């Protein structure tokens, strides 16, 4: 059995989208909650994200905070990828919710492969992993960086 049984993410551009694409590419089941109407910054009109990722479920609210809360709640662990010094209200909100719900989580710089590897190695086999972080407009290039990081830790996610 794989270490990660499912990757959950909200589908926003940047970290979220890269995680869902990674899961699809590697055969890890994907899912999670997205805002009502499938809203993302690059897909503002319904069905939005649901065209790209029909595995996602829309929340009753268009408020992304509900999506974030439900993805943290419904996961065993949350990996938050960001950049040192980057201010992102959504990313900070994810961390606050993980702490409030007493959920296992790691906040790591998207370039810190060693920290992510060490944390992933400690997770139980078969966890549902929520992956979150800033959107592409807040951190240009973070989608590509997240993809590269996930590829570098692939053996701890898939194997």
- Please tell me the distance from the alpha carbon of residue 94 to that of residue 79, in angstroms, as a whole number: 10
How far, in whole angstroms, is CA 25 from its chain's centroid?
15
- Please tell me the distance from the alpha carbon of residue 133 to that of residue 95, in angstroms, as a whole number: 10
Which domains does the chain possess?
4-33+61-157 (3.40.50.450)
What is the percent of the chain with per-residue pLDDT over 90, rounded to a whole number?
A: 97
- Please tell me the distance from the alpha carbon of residue 88 to that of residue 91, in angstroms, as a whole number: 5
Q: What is the pLDDT of residue 1?
A: 58
Mean pLDDT calculated for residue range 45-58: 97
Q: What is the pLDDT of residue 136?
A: 97
Q: What is the pLDDT of residue 109?
A: 98
Helix (H) or strand (E) holding 27: none
Across all residues in the chain, what is the average pLDDT? 96
DSSP state for residue 137 in the 8-state scheme: T
Confidence at 3, pLDDT banded by 50, 70, 90: confident
């Amino acid at each position: 059995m794989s270490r990660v049984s499912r990757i959950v993410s909200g589908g926003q551009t940047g970290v979220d989208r890269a995680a869902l694409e990674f899961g699809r590419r590697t055969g890890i089941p994907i899912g999670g909650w997205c805002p009502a109407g499938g809203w993302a910054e690059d897909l503002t009109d319904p069905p939005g994200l649901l065209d790209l990722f029909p595995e996602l479920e829309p929340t009753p609210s268009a408020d992304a905070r509900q999506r974030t809360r439900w993805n943290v709640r419904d996961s065993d662990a949350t990996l938050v990828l960001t950049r040192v010094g980057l201010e992102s209200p959504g990313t900070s909100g994810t961390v606050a919710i993980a702490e409030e719900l007493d959920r296992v989580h790691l906040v790591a710089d998207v370039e810190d492969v060693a920290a992510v590897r060490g944390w992933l190695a400690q997770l139980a086999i078969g966890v549902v992993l929520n992956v979150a972080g800033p959107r592409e407009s807040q951190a240009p290039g973070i989608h590509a960086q997240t993809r590269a990081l996930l590829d570098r830790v692939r053996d701890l996610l898939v194997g």
